[in-house]
Structure 1
Amino acid sequence: MLLSALARRARLLTAVGTRDEARALLAEMVATRWRVPGAGHPDTAQARTVLTTLTGDGC
């Protein structure tokens, strides 16, 4: 799934210190998951958790 690939890439970017790029990817992932499955979907909550965990920014 494309969104899972974005999450993996963001984790790698965070690990190598490019947090701004990781934050942008994760914010895109959260926005997409918010629109497609909806705000109450578990995937949306997971995306927000990953964003917060990796970047400290929950959008």
Structure 2
Amino acid sequence: MSAELMRLLSNIIRTGIISEVDEKSWRVRVRSGELETGWLRWNTTRAGAFNVWLPPSTQANRW
């Protein structure tokens, strides 16, 4: 495989640590190595009529 293809494949899924949480807008920033993302929405673990409020915490590992 070419180096470019390997680079693209390695960026499909990244693990990281939550660096900031904005509970009001349901968004987090994640740090993975030298990279820090912009604000990303976090997903809920359930959908439908049942609603759980469980925001992620900083320094939590995420992928």
Give the shorter-chain TM-score range.
under 0.3
In our comparison, the structure showing a higher alpha carbon Rg is 2
More helix by percentage: 1
TM normalised by structure 1 equals 0.28
Between the two structures, name the one with larger relative contact order (CA 8 Å, sep ≥ 6). 2
TM normalised by structure 2 equals 0.27
